[in-house]
Structure formats: structure tokens, C-alpha cells
Structure 1
Amino acid sequence: MTEELEILKLELEGIINASNDNIVVTDGQGIVLRAIRNSEEIYGEVSSTLVGRSVFELEKENIFSPSVTARVLKEKKEVQVMQKTRTGKVIMATGIPIFDKQKNIIRVISFSHNLTEIQKLKEDYEQLQSKMKRYESEIEELRGKETKIGDIVIECKTMQTVWELVNRVARSDATVVLLGESGVGKTVFARALHNRSERKKEPFIEINCGAIPTSLFESELFGYEPGAFTGANHKGKIGIIELAHKGTLFLDEIGELPLDIQVKLLKVLQEKSITKIGGGRSKKVDFRLVAATNQDLEYMVKQGKFREDLFYRLNVVPIHIPSLRKRKEDIYQLIEHFLSKFNRKYQTNKFFHAAAIDACLEYEWPGNVRELENLIERLVVTSDTNTIYHDNLPFIQKNQQNNDTEVEWSSLTVFEERGLTLQDALEEVEKCWLLRAYRQCKTTYEMAETLGLSQATVVRRLKKYNINSK
């Protein structure tokens, strides 16, 4: 009998070690009895160090993370989990309980299959899809006229009209006021006006009128002579307007310009000369003025906060730059442009999952292009995988929290007030659960595990409610 047991033991060891899967056998308390010989490659521990130890202890040490055996002992049924090991492997682990006649668990056998290569292939495939989409976009772009200049991406007809106007106006010396919400790229367009003008080899001087204290405005714009006032530099100072001589002067946020400075600026524009503080002689200056604001200057004139004569002096060629939510066609091109820019800067190879791109196309972008650029830089720096998923987006997470709160507070009264039948209410709850899992999980397999359904059922339900599956 002892010889037969020894043969059975050898057979069992042979089966375990010949398997392509990593097999671990424990007793009913979670103590490891046997482990496959290649466990070091998978878990970073040789099988001899695993035998005799508790899976609960090994889970705390992140050797089994999480432990499928611990889950089986708790739930008393077959369990399947995804594990990430200390060696960087992605593992699909399945735990199967063995019961005695009294329905007590006497053994747990777990099979772990290394999915690292499959995960890598999946990521490579997603990256290839992203590249193909980019190449298709680039081919389409080459078929038309030039649509990307520096940080300006022009795809929609409205932006093309704006760009054509910029090119026409750039060749003249006419004063331009750029109008639009904060973050639409007014500074970029101001530089484009300068770079396409005959003054392009001369200085482009930019000043943000909202960033200068009122007390320093005059000295910053016009400069001062040595000893003009207490605390002044003994050598004097050249004003910003004088620095723009022969070039372009860009006054950003011009709606923040104090009224007393507006009077003096108007005089400079009329006479094309400046007088430094403490000086008695005026000096001729030749510059092209470009202004920008996110405020309604006409309304400010009616309120007495902006001079009417200066408004008409500035409003020679007003150019309105549309918000990003009104030029959805440009968002994908901007994403690719900024991704390329920051991948080069940080020497990374990040790319957007298709669902993340769809989420960006649906978002309203209150901060416009600046918000999009800052978001992409943040994601390139902080994302722990090459793929940027839609649940990495902060506005997706915020919406998810809001939606979760709404579901938690739903009640029968709400359904009754809306006149829903039982079937309608059940379908609405089911859809909410599917949407939540869709936002939280990266694959339909993860969704199935979270919801306690089969993967095939999840796919059918996603299709039923028209929720894009991954």
C-alpha cells in the first residue's frame, strides 16, 4: 500500500511539473502542500519556500496578489481572479475547491496562467490601432491644404475661415483685436500674425495687462528716466512700447487696462510717440498693435469701464476665435499634436485608448485648448501604462462619482413618479450597473468578474444598451 501511495505521489508530482500552468495545492486551511517547480519565474519564490506556508501570509507579502485560494476558502466555490506578481507578470488564476463527504473543503487546487505576453500583444494592438487612426488622419490632412501651424490645428470650417482672415490681415499694419474665451489660443494667433507679417524679423513684445500692478503700469509701458521717482533704477528703464519698435506689440487681456492708462495708450496710438516718466522729450515709435481679451469690450464701454474712443481705435479688425467645444473636428488633431509634443519632451510612448478619445470628443472643454494641452501633459507624466484609458481622465472620474451618487439615492418613489413599469425600472438599474462597470474596468472580462456575469452575457447587455464595449 505504501508503494502504491509513493507511485501516486510521483504521478501527481509529474502531472504538476509537466503542466504549462502554474499549479499550487493547499489544504483546507490554506497551507501550501505542493507547488510547481517554475514558481520562481512566476511568483519570484522557489516552490520549496512556498510549501508549508499560509496563502494568507503570502498574500500579505504580495507574493499572491490577490490570493485566489483565500477567495475560494471564503466563498466556498470556484473563483477566478487576475493577479499581478512581484516579478511584473500578469496572471489569470483559477481556484477549485475539493470537498469531503461532509461538504468541508479539504484541498484547493489553483491553476495560474501567465497572460503577460497576451497583455503585451493587446497593448501593441491598441497602439497599432491608434497609429492607424493617426495615419488615416495625416493622409486626409495631406489631401487638403496646410492645417497645422505650430500649436494651431485647423480642421473645422470655422477655424479655416479664421486662419484665412489672419493670413490676409497679417500682411497689413492694421490693428487687430483677438476675441475669445480664455485658453482658445489668442497668444498663438498673435504670434502667427507677427510671423506672417513684414515685421517678422523684428521683436514680438507681449505683455499681460492683467498681471501688472496698477501702480507699475505706466513705468512698465512707457519707461522712465534716471531718478524719475523714489526707488527708480539709477540708469532709467526702457518701456515695453519702445522695446516693440519696428516689431509687434501684443497687449493680452487689454480689458484689464486701467482707465488712466487707456488715455495715455490712446495718445501713443494717435501720435506714434512716447514720453518716458520724468522725461521732457517725446520719441517716435513704430509698432504694429495686436490686442486680445476674453471680455465683451462693447459692454464694458456701456458700463464706463473701457474708453469708447480706445475701443474704436482697437476694433479695426476684430477676429473671434471659437471655443474648442464649437470646433470638435479639431480635438483629435490637437490630441495627436500634444501627445507627440510631450512624448518627445518626456521620452515616452503614450497613446490614447479609443474610448478615451471618444470621451474627449464629448467633453465641453471649458478651459479650451489650454485645458486640453495641460491635461495631456499631466497624463503623459502620470500614466503608469503606455495606454491612456478613458477612466484616467479627471472629468470621466468626476462624472462617474456624480452618477454613482445618483444611483445610490434612487428609490422606488422616483421610479413611480416617472411612471416606469417594473420591467423599465429593472432595465434602468441594469444599465446603470453596466455603465459603472464600463467606466471602472478595462475589459469585458473584468466587467464580468465585477458584475458576477459571464463575459458573453456582458457583451450582449452592452450591445442591448448601446454601450461601447472594449
Structure 2
Amino acid sequence: MKRDRRHAAEWDENEAILQSLQDDIIVTNLDGIILRASKTSGDIYDIDSADIIGRSVYDLEKEGLFTPTVTPMVIKEKKKLTFVQTTGAGKKLLVTGIPVFDQQGSLKRIVSYSHDVTELLEVKKYLKSMEEEIEKVKTELDLLRNKQFYDDGVIANSNEMKKVLDVSSQVSGVDANVLLLGESGAGKSLIAAFIHRKSPRCKGPFIEVNCGAIPASLFESELFGYEPSAFTGASRKGKLGLAELADGGTLFLDEIGELAPEHQVKLLKLIQEKKFLRVGGTMPRKVDFRLIAATNKNLRKAITERKFREDLYFRLNVVPITIPPLRDRTEDILPLIDHFLNHFTQKYGRDRKLDEAVIAHLLYYEWKGNVRELINLIERLVVTSPSSLITTDCLPEHVLEGGAADYADTPAPLRQILNDVEKQVLLHAKKQYSTTTAIGKALEISQPSVVRKLKKHGLN
């Protein structure tokens, strides 16, 4: 009897030690039957710990008390294991299973203890999302630094461009896909930015993707991003794709006609489902963006040549907008010249004006490179002109040959040519001088002649 009482006292002492621990501790045999459990075990699993004594961990897992169970994994590996377990209430536990061997080295018991790391994992998840958001903002800032400088507005004096802006304004309020058509340099990027600024998504990002500038081998990783170390040379942190950066804003796909056929399929899926997989990823990511595409190619011809998918074309071509070349909207040339001359004089701190002869050459130049060529030329003239008055001596040879020297080759009546030149010169002078007297003095004609000519051209 004394031995029994001494043994009971020892047992009570061990049990007291077990229960004094603040950790969830469970002991099972090789069959998965729970032999001991601390009070904390019951608290973590939302059950009385006494109710799981003698129960099988396999049955408890089937009942949804926790998953996965540690016993079979430790029996299989015969070593200490740590993993994350989920309780029926959705808690996340960091569980460690330890094998207990007898003197002969045979496995006898499995001891496991756990810590509730639900809050820790939530914090980790939050920090990861914050890291992605910071990376997104950094990338957006880099893209903004590389954007064209003339996002302050669209110059449209011609009826052709006014029609373009009217349609652009109408579609800006809805999320319909827009396809911008026109020659290279005509201003497709500018119109895309205009639609974005007028849209309800204006506070979101405007992400421009030049499909022709990204190598085919990198297009998927650039558009969709990639998971950490997804391929050789990939960043260990992974990378956000341009489609993900456009979430909540506008995705502008420029030069869409240059897209390789194998990428057209994936782009079509992105447009249809607004879902994608990062390179090396397995979890679909959902995005919400407004799509605008642009091309200087004839996509219908590309379809017949099997270079462009017809189903993708119809997805893109919901609202087509054709931007006319600069040579077909001559009323815009002089305002554009004034705008960019003012911009570059301020940018480089140089006071520069254009001689009337220079203006005449520029008005009748063909502008095969459209607005982009005009911008480059004005910047060149401001930078290279040795004096404040930019004369024809500063003009490149191809502009001299393709400008005013081509008047005689222009298939239009001389009266019309002279009339157009007179109108443009008057318009330019009116912008420079505030009174008709000053205009007459600059043009060396009388003030009444100025009034008459302004009225003639509807500039009064």
C-alpha cells in the first residue's frame, strides 16, 4: 500500500508539472491514441482537454478538430518535425512533433507542442502585401519619370483632332476597350493618357507597355511578373508585372501589332478573365484595369496573313479611334510649334524665337514623323541656335528641301497656298502680339490691313 501511495504521489507531481506549462502539449502512442494532454491543449482547440484523452488523433482530424496530424509524420520520419497546423476554428498553430525512444532505441511515444501563430502569420501576410505595394509605387514612379513631358493637355485646333477628342471624351466615362489607330508619332500615347485622365480611374495608375520594345523572351515576365527565383537570373524577391501594376487604373498596350502570336493567346486570356499567373506561380491573381491598345499597323491585313488573332482583334476593337497624321491637320502645326518652343526655352533657360521664314518652312514640311518629329526638331533648334532668333540657317537640310522649297510641287492652286500661309502667319503673330497695331508693325503692313485680313480668315 505504501508503494502505491508513493507511486500516486509521483504521478500527481508529473501531472502537475505538465499542467503548469503554458504550452499545448499532447502525448500519443504509436496508434495515435492521446495519452496525455495539457489544459492549454483544450483551450487552443476549443475543447476540454479531458475529453480528448483516450481519443485517436486520426478520428479527431476527421472530425475537423485540426489538420494535419503530427503522429504519422513523426512515425514515418523518426525525427523532430515542425510545421503549421490549422484548427477547426481557423487558428494557425506552429506544431513541433518529437519522437520518444526507449532504451533499445524503439519508438514508443510522440510528444507534440504548439504555439498559436495566427496573429504572427497575419502580420507576415500584411508585411508582404505592404512590400508589394511599396514595390508597386516604386515601379510606378519609375514609369512616370520616363513618360513624355507634354501630359498637360492636348492641342487640337483642327476639326479632325477635335473629333478625336470628342469621341475620346465620350468613351472615357466607361470601361469599354479602345483601339487607337494611326501613324507612328501621331499622338496615340497622348490620347491614351487623355482618356485615362478623363476617366473615373484617373486617380489610379496609367501603365504604358510598348509591346514592340520588350523582347519576346521577356514579354511574359514583364507583363505578368514572376515569383521569387522563378528562373535563372530572376530576383529572389520576385517581381510585379505591368498588368498587376495597372490594377485600379489603365493598362495601355502600345504597338500591339508587334505582339508575337504565342503572347497574343495569353493576352486574350488576360483581357477575358482579368486573371493571370506569374511566371513560376501557381496561384491565379485577379486584376481590374481599363484596357487601351494602339497600333500603326493594319490589323485586318495582319489577320489575313495569320500574324494577328482575329478573336483578339475583336476584343480590342470595341471603340476604334483613328488619329490623323500631322500633315492632314495643318491647323495644329503652328500651335504645336508655339507650345514646344515655349516648353524648351523654359527647360533650357534660353530665350528663342522663330523667324517667319522658318515658320513658313515648318508649316509646309511633310512631317513624316508626325508630332514626335516636330518635338525633336524644336528641341534641336532651341539647343543649337547661336542667337535668340532662330533663322533658316539653323534648319536641317531635309527640312529646307521638304518645306517651303516644295511650294511649287504642291498639287494645289497658288491662291490656296498663299492663303494658307497668310492665315498661319497671322495666327502666329496674333499669339505673339496683343494689339493689331503691334501685329501690323511686326508684319510691316497697316493696322487696317491686319483687321481686314484677320476678319477674312475668321481670326478676329
Structure 1 length normalisation: TM-score? 0.53
| Structure 2 counterpart of 1:285 | 287
1:276 aligns with 2:278: yes
| Structure 1 counterpart of 2:228 | 226
- SS of residue paired to 1:152: coil
Contact kept, 8 Å, 1:357 with 1:390, in 2: the verdict is no
TM-aligned CA deviation for residue 359 of structure 1: 1.1
Q: 1:381 aligns with which of 380, 383, 394?
A: 383
TM-aligned CA deviation for residue 356 of structure 1: 1.1
- SS of residue paired to 2:308: coil
User: How many angstroms apart in 1 are the aligned matches of 2:239 and 2:393?
Assistant: 52
Contact kept, 8 Å, 2:151 with 2:193, in 1: the verdict is no
| Structure 2 counterpart of 1:315 | 317
Amino acid at match of 1:220: E
User: How many angstroms apart in 2 are the aligned matches of 1:313 and 1:156?
Assistant: 30
Aligned residues: 256
User: How many angstroms apart in 2 are the aligned matches of 1:250 and 1:182?
Assistant: 16
Residues 59-78 of structure 1 aligned to structure 2 (within 5 Å) = none
User: How many angstroms apart in 2 are the aligned matches of 1:397 and 1:169?
Assistant: 41
Contact kept, 8 Å, 1:184 with 1:324, in 2: the verdict is yes
- SS of residue paired to 1:233: coil
User: How many angstroms apart in 1 are the aligned matches of 2:157 and 2:252?
Assistant: 26
| Structure 2 counterpart of 1:238 | 240
User: Alpha-carbon deviations, 1:290-322, whole Å to 9, x = none?
Assistant: 111111111111101110000000000111000
1:213 aligns with 2:195: no
| Structure 1 counterpart of 2:255 | 253
Unaligned runs of 5+ in 2: 1-149, 407-460
Contact kept, 8 Å, 1:356 with 1:391, in 2: the verdict is no
Q: 1:158 aligns with which of 157, 160, 163?
A: 160
- SS of residue paired to 1:291: strand
User: How many angstroms apart in 1 are the aligned matches of 2:331 and 2:164?
Assistant: 15
TM-aligned CA deviation for residue 150 of structure 1: 2.6
User: How many angstroms apart in 2 are the aligned matches of 1:281 and 1:262?
Assistant: 21
User: How many angstroms apart in 2 are the aligned matches of 1:281 and 1:383?
Assistant: 58
1:390 aligns with 2:392: yes
Q: 2:169 aligns with which of 135, 147, 167?
A: 167
Amino acid at match of 1:374: N
TM-aligned CA deviation for residue 151 of structure 1: 4.9
User: How many angstroms apart in 2 are the aligned matches of 1:162 and 1:241?
Assistant: 27
- SS of residue paired to 2:252: strand
User: How many angstroms apart in 2 are the aligned matches of 1:149 and 1:252?
Assistant: 17
TM-aligned CA deviation for residue 230 of structure 1: 2.1
Q: 1:340 aligns with which of 332, 339, 342?
A: 342
TM-aligned CA deviation for residue 392 of structure 1: 2.3
Identity %: 55
| Structure 2 counterpart of 1:326 | 328
Contact kept, 8 Å, 1:273 with 1:284, in 2: the verdict is yes
Contact kept, 8 Å, 2:364 with 2:402, in 1: the verdict is no
User: How many angstroms apart in 1 are the aligned matches of 2:399 and 2:260?
Assistant: 41
Amino acid at match of 2:269: K
Amino acid at match of 1:264: K
Amino acid at match of 2:258: E
User: Alpha-carbon deviations, 1:389-444, whole Å to 9, x = none?
Assistant: 234221344469x99xxxxxxxxxxxxxxxxxxxxxxxxxxxxxxxxxxxxxxxxx
| RMSD (Å), alpha carbons | 1.9
Larger Rg: 2
Contact kept, 8 Å, 1:390 with 1:396, in 2: the verdict is no
Amino acid at match of 1:377: E
- SS of residue paired to 1:206: strand
| Structure 2 counterpart of 1:305 | 307
User: How many angstroms apart in 2 are the aligned matches of 1:167 and 1:399?
Assistant: 35
| Structure 2 counterpart of 1:55 | none
Residues 79-228 of structure 1 aligned to structure 2 (within 5 Å) = 150-228=152-230
Contact kept, 8 Å, 1:245 with 1:285, in 2: the verdict is yes
TM-aligned CA deviation for residue 227 of structure 1: 2.7
User: How many angstroms apart in 2 are the aligned matches of 1:285 and 1:336?
Assistant: 41
Flag the 1:399–1:230 CA change in 2: closer, same or farther, 3 A. closer
User: How many angstroms apart in 2 are the aligned matches of 1:149 and 1:309?
Assistant: 33
